[in-house]
Structure 1
Amino acid sequence: NTSVVSILNNSLMNALLKCLSDRRTNKWPLVSSPVPIISIFLCYLLIIWVGPKLMAKRQPVYLKPVLIVYNFGMVCLSAYMFYEFTASAWLARYSLLCQPVDYSNSPNAMRMARVCWWFYFSKVIELSDTIFFILRKKNSQLTFLHVYHHATMIFNWWAGVKYVAGGQSFLIGLINSLVHVVMYLYYGLAALGPSMTKYLWWKRHLTSLQLLQFFIVTIHTTYNLFADCDFPDSMNTVVLAYSISLIVLFSNFYYRSYLVNMSASITPSCGQICVN
C-alpha cells in the first residue's frame, strides 16, 4: 500500500517543484517538501474542529503569563525581521520598483533568504493565536477572516521561501513585520490587564494600518505585473489576488465594527485583525 506521503514525494509534480525551487533553501526546515506544511495545516483545521468541543464543558484556561510572553516575544521577533529585511535590502541596493531575486550564495543574498525563512516560520508560530482563542473559550474570534488568513499565509510563504527567497517579495515581509511590531505591542499591553486599557485608545487604527499595508502591496504588485521586471508573474498574480481578498475582508470588518456599530464597544482581537 502506497501512502499519501509517498505519492506526494514521488509524484511528477513534486519532481517539477524541486526542479524549479531555490537550491539555497530547498533543504531548509519546512521547505523541502510540501508534506510538513500540509500536515501542519491539517492539524490546524483539526484543532479548530475538535478544540471547541473539548473545551465546551471546561473552564477557560488562565493564560495571562503565557500571552504576555508570547505577544512581547512576537514584538521582538517582528522587530528583528524588520531590521533584517531593511538592512539586507539597503546593503544590496534593492529597488522598490523592480527587484529580481538574487539566487547567489553571497553573504547578503543568503541573509535575505534567511530572514524570508524566519518570516515564513513566524507564520507557523502565529497559528498559536487560534489555539489561545480555543483554550480561553473565545470561539467568537474564530472568524472566517482569522482562519482564512492564518491558514493561507503559511502556504504563501512556503512558496515564497522555496521559489523566491528575496527580490521584491522582501517588501511584503518588511511592511508586515513593522505592522506586527505595532500589533503585538498592542496585544502585549492588553494582556497586562485592565489597568492598561486607558493607554490603548489607538486600537481602531490597527485595522487602518492593516488596510494601508494591503493597499501598498496591491499597488506595488500591480505595477510589477505590467512592468518589464525579472520576477515571476505567477507569484505576482497570487500576491495580487491574495491582497485584494484581504482588502475585501478587512474592509468588511472595519465597516461592521467601526462604521455600522459606532456606538458598540468592540475590541478587535488578533483573530479579527491579525495579518500573519
Structure 2
Amino acid sequence: MEAATSASRVPAVVHPAVMSDPWFMLAVLGVYLYFVTVVGPQFMEFRKAYKLKKLIMAHNLIQVVSCLYVLKEVFFITDNAVQYFWECRDFGKSQEHVRRHFELAHFLFWLKLSELIETVIFVLRRKQNQVSKLHIFHHITTVTLVYVLLHFNENGTAAYFCVFLNSIVHICMYTYYFVAAVADKDFVRSLRPIKKCITVMQMTQFAFILTQVVFQLVLCGIPAFALCYYTGVIAAMFYGFYDFYQTSYQKNKRHKSLTTPN
C-alpha cells in the first residue's frame, strides 16, 4: 500500500497495492492482449465453440448491476449535479465524499478489468471476427483511463461525468446482451435495431465527453498529460465507433437500397 503522489489539490489517499503503480495493470493487459490475439485463437483452432451461456448471462447481469451501483455513487459524490459538466468541482464538501470518490475509482478499476472477460468469451465461442482492433482498443484504454482517474485527476468530481455517461450506455448494452442470451432467435432478430441505437449512444457519449474537455480546459484547467491522453483516447474511440457505424449500418443500408427491385 502506497500513498498517492498526485498534485496538492488532490487529497492524499492510500491506494491498494495493485493500483499504486501501473505494473499490475500492464501485466493483466499484456496477458489479455496475448491471449485474445494469439494463444486463444490457436487453442480454439481445432476445437468446437464453447456455448458458455451461463457465464454470458452472469457476466452481463453483473455488469448491469455494477453500473447501477456506479450511478448511485456518482449522484452522491456530485451532489446530484453530475449533469452540469461545465462546472469546476472539488473532491467533495466532506470526508465522506472524498472517501467514496476514491472507493468508486477503485471499484471502477476492477469493473473495467472484469469487462475484459467479454473478449475472452468471444474467443472461446470462436467469434474471432468480433475481436476487432476497435474492441481491443476500447477495453484496454478504458482500464488505463481509470488509472489516470486514480493518479492524475485534478478536476475533482467533474471527472465522473464520463463515468456517468458510460454507465448509462453500458446498462442499455449489457441488458440487450443479457436478453439476447436468453431469448429465442426470432425475438433476438427483432431486437437488431437496438444494436444500432447502442452504437449511436456510444458516439453521443464521446461527443459529450469531448465537449466537457473543452469547458474544463477553458474554465478549470487540466493537467497536460491527462488532457492529451484522455482527449486522444476519446477522440480515437469516437472515430472508431463512427467508422464502425458507417461500415455496419450505412453501407448495408445503401446496399439494400441498390439491390431492392423497383
Range into which the TM-score falls when normalised by the shorter chain: 0.7 to 0.9
Aligned residues: 249
The structural deviation recorded for 1:237 is 2.9
> Hey, what does 1:180 align to over in structure 2?
170
Correspondence for 1:206: 198
Structure 2 Cα separation of the partners of residues 87 and 182 of structure 1:
22
> Relative to structure 1, is the Cα distance of residues 59 and 264 closer, same or farther in structure 2, using a 3 angstrom cutoff?
farther
Separation (CA, whole Å) in 1 of partners of 2:82 and 2:68: 21
Question: Are residues 1:238 and 2:229 paired?
Answer: yes
- Residue in 2 aligned with 1:138? 127
SS at match of 1:133: helix
Give the partner amino acid of 1:118: F
Q: State which drifts further: 104-113 or 143-152.
A: 104-113
SS for the counterpart of 1:86 is: helix
**1:90 counterpart SS class:** coil
Q: TM-score, normalised by structure 2?
A: 0.86
Task: State the one-letter code of the partner of 1:185.
Answer: T
Let me know the Cα RMSD of the aligned residues. 2.6
Letter in 1 for 2:122: F
Query: What is the CA-CA distance between 1:200 and the residue it aligns to?
Result: 5.0
Pair 62,263 (structure 1): closer, same or farther in 2 beyond 3 Å? farther
Give 1:45's match in structure 2, choosing from 10, 33, 44. Answer: 33
Q: CA 1:146–1:89 in structure 2 vs 1: closer, same or farther (change >3 Å)?
A: same
Decide whether aligned partners of structure 1 residues 99 and 28 sit closer, same or farther in structure 2, where only a CA change above 3 A counts.
farther
Q: CA deviation at 1:120?
A: 2.3
For the structure 1 residues 202 and 27, does the alpha-carbon distance in structure 2 shift closer, same or farther, using more than 3 Å as the test? closer
**Structure 1 gap segments, 5+ residues each:** 1-14, 266-276
CA separation in 2, counterparts of 1:91 and 1:260? 41
Question: Which AA in structure 2 matches 1:178?
Answer: I
How far residue 153 of structure 1 moved from its aligned partner, in angstroms, is 1.4
Instruction: Give the residue type in structure 2 aligned to 1:117.
Output: H
Give the whole-Å Cα distance in 2 for the aligned partners of 1:179 and 1:26.
31
Which residue identity lines up with residue 165 of structure 2 in the other structure?
Answer: I
Contact 1:101-1:164 at 8 Å conserved across structures: no
Q: Secondary structure at the match of 1:74?
A: helix
Tell me how far apart the structure 1 counterparts of residues 200 and 228 of structure 2 sit (CA, whole Å). Answer: 24
Compared CA separation, residues 91 and 141, structure 1 to 2 (3 A) = closer
CA deviation after TM superposition for structure 1 residue 97, in Å:
1.5
Whether the aligned pair in 2 keeps the contact of 1:225 and 1:237 (CA below 8 Å) is no
CA contact (8 A) 2:203 2:242 kept: yes
On the 8 A contact 2:91/2:101 being kept in 1, the answer is: no
**CA shift digits 1:166-207 (9 cap, x unpaired):** 421110111111111001001010111325313454221000
* Within-5 A mapping of 1:3-18: none
Q: CA deviation at 1:116?
A: 2.1
Amino acid at match of 1:146: H
1:26 & 1:176 partners in 2: Cα distance? 26
Q: Say whether residues 1:87 and 2:76 are aligned partners.
A: yes
Aligned equivalents of 2:121 and 2:137: distance in 1?
Answer: 17
Deviations 1:133-155 (A, max 9, x none): 11001000110101111111111
User: Superposition pairs for residues 160-199 of structure 1, below 5 Å?
Assistant: 160-164=149-153, 166-193=156-183, 194=185, 196-197=187-188, 198-199=190-191
Measure the CA separation in 2 of the matches of 1:32 and 1:210: 30
Displacement after TM superposition at 1:260 (Å)? 0.7
Mapped to 2, the partners of 1:253 and 1:94 lie a distance apart of 28
User: Percent same amino acid at aligned positions?
Assistant: 22
| Pairing 1:19–2:5 present | yes
Structure 1 residue 75 displacement after superposition:
0.6
Q: What is the CA-CA distance between 1:222 and the residue it aligns to?
A: 1.5
